[in-house]
Amino acid sequence: MSETKSEAREYVQPVIKAEELDPKFKYKMSKLHGAEKVMVCFQCGTCTADCPIARFSEFYRPRRIARMVQLGLKDRLLLDKALWLCSSCFTCVDHCPQGVEIAGIVRVLRNMAVADKNILPLVYKELATNLMKGGFVYEIPESRLQKRVEQGLPPLPKPNVKDVVKIFEVTGSAGLLEKVQTFAKVESK
């Protein structure tokens, strides 16, 4: 994707106020696994040009995420629902000439969004709840199981739900899922 008309739209943003900038944020980020190289991004735009989500989105731009981290626009990043559009395909990681791991940066930011802002897309909560209840992220209907038998496929392994629940409890994820605020639609502010 060339960065032409739709790329230009990303600059139509509210004015950045000086008090929004956290100069320490990029240092904090670069200590976290996956985001270590955020400061060496030189804004070439390769990640945005090759990102399959940016190709179909008016507002999701991985290059912009890297720049916002460098500028210290922490709150804007964490509250931007577009953060949850990344599909973690790692194309940007493979293609970045600086070795910046945008997918890792997005993961770190998402974790912060949940921890600091207490927000999560509804679909993530639903998948995690399914996992905790039944050991699979999707509830598998009886008809699908029957189809496996008809196709001669082996039965699915039985999940150890007790252990899964324990992991959710020990890591604090169970309590977090209970109190987290959800939103249904992923869009830019």
Select the residue interacting with ligand SF4 from 13, 30, 46, 188 (CB under 6 A). 46
69 or 132, CB closer to ligand SF4?
69
In the complex with ligand SF4, which residue's Cβ is closer, 90 or 183? 90
Is 51 a binding residue for ligand SF4 by CB under 6 A? The answer is yes
Among 16, 21, 79, 89, binds ligand SF4 (CB under 6 A): 89
Instruction: Using CB under 6 A, count the residues that bind ligand SF4.
Output: 26
CB 77 → ligand SF4: shortest distance, Å? 13
Kindly tell me which residue out of 75, 79, 87, 137 binds ligand SF4, with binding defined by CB under 6 A. Answer: 87
Write out the DSSP string of the chain.
--SSHHHHHTT--PPPPGGG--TTHHHHHTTSTT-TTGGG-----HHHHH-HHHHH-SS--HHHHHHHHHHT-HHHHHH-GGGGG-----HHHHH-TT---HHHHHHHHHHHHHHHH-EEEHHHHHHHHHHHHHSSSSPPPHHHHHHHHHTTPPPPPPP-HHHHHHHHHHTTHHHHHHH-EEES-----
Decide if residue 98 touches ligand SF4 (CB under 6 A): yes
Q: Residues interacting with ligand SF4, by CB under 6 A?
A: 41-47, 51-53, 62-63, 66, 86-92, 96-98, 100, 102-103
